[in-house]
Structure 1
Amino acid sequence: MGGMRFQHTSTYDAPPADVYAMLTDPAWREKVAEAQGVVSSDVTITPQGQGCRVVVDQVQNTAGLPAIAKKITGETTQAVVTEVWTSPTAGTVEILAPGKPTKGVGTVSLQADGATTKHVTDLEVTVKVPLVGGKLEQVMADNIGKGMEIEQAVGAAWLEGDR
């Protein structure tokens, strides 16, 4: 059970400084949570060195997950996403579900690409459940990907002034 690699790249029509400002704005994080349909969300952003620590503690509805995943999660599940930006362009990310055998650990980065910025998330997703862990890792990775697609749509609108 070594885990599964998950990578997602969102591209924004803005310079890295603008994308970082968005990613570290509690109002944007709340707007993303609303768009994702979470049950509740608590966002804490703390300056730290040249970057900051972003903690998003959410209760998510598990409707739509396969029955095998719902046996572990229940009707709702808590997800705590912690991003530690060591600079405005790089950091680490950890996704935990307290009390559950799941986690995602990896890196986040912002990369200038001409007039756009690529927001790259690279994770190792692990679900420590005998026999079905690999299948559940795919479910978790798919769910993270869906959340990031919503995040990108909200981010693109935010950067165009929809706040």
Structure 2
Amino acid sequence: MPSRIEHRAEFTAPAKAVHAAFVDKAFLDARLAELGGTGARLLDHTSGAERTSFTLRQGVPADKLPSAARALIKGDLVVERTETWWPAAAGFAGETTAAVTGVPGSIKGVFALVDSGAGSTWTTSGEVTVRVPLVGGKIEKTIAEQVVKLLAAEAGFTAAWLAERA
């Protein structure tokens, strides 16, 4: 059974400003430099009138992984994550998929970014699936916990980025 991912972040900036940061190449490069880990980089960035998509590579050193994950993954963990964002009726919506090298499974999620009060709210819902007998559920749970921590760190980075440019 997949492990759920749920995250919510509040920003003092309106959804339009947060979205503009989320899809900006300079923002993504800076966020990856600070939070992306080993070998982090922006692999692809495509922006059109209605949609922006990008793919990020992020890394986690093997010594930072829980023992259950180290038994399955040989070496550093490398995550390739694709996000697509578009305007929605109440703000912005998006979806994400991610693959982890050496792990038979996937991460999938959806985003909503809407104005709320004097700022905006970003919500993420998703799931992690790892298809490994006996230990898959444990690895899913570990990955889901790490994803939520990463989303919280990314929200903190975003808030600071926006505050510096206000």
Aligned match of 2:45: 45
Distance 1:45 1:20 in 2: 15
- What is the percentage of aligned positions where both structures have the same residue? 28
Distance 1:131 1:105 in 2: 22
1:141 aligned onto 2:144: yes
CA offsets 1:124-154 (integer angstroms, 9 cap, x no match): 1111110111111110011111111211111
- Over 3 Å counting, the alpha-carbon distance change for 1:37 and 1:63 in structure 2 is farther
Q: Which runs of 4+ in 1 moved over 4 A?
A: none
CA offsets 1:86-141 (integer angstroms, 9 cap, x no match): 32600211111144213111211101111121111111111111011111111001
Instruction: Name the SS for the 1:137 alignment partner.
Output: helix
Structure 1: give runs of 5+ residues left out of the alignment: none
1:113 aligned onto 2:116: yes
Per the TM alignment, residue 57 of structure 1 is displaced from its structure 2 partner at its CA by: 1.7
Q: Give, as a single letter, the amino acid of the residue that structure 1 aligns with 2:128.
A: V
1:123 aligned onto 2:126: yes
Structure 2: give runs of 5+ residues left out of the alignment: none
Distance 1:64 1:161 in 2: 31
Q: Give, as a single letter, the amino acid of the residue that structure 1 aligns with 2:152.
A: E
Distance 1:102 1:79 in 2: 12
CA offsets 1:5-32 (integer angstroms, 9 cap, x no match): 1111121110111001110112222222
TM-score calculated relative to the size of structure 1: 0.90
TM-align CA RMSD: 1.9
Distance 2:135 2:2 in 1: 12
Instruction: Name the SS for the 1:161 alignment partner.
Output: helix
TM-score calculated relative to the size of structure 2: 0.88
Q: Give, as a single letter, the amino acid of the residue that structure 2 aligns with 1:45.
A: H
Number of matched pairs:
162
C-alpha contact (below 8 Å) 1:31/1:154 kept by paired residues: no
Distance 1:62 1:48 in 2: 37
Aligned match of 1:18: 17
C-alpha contact (below 8 Å) 2:10/2:119 kept by paired residues: yes
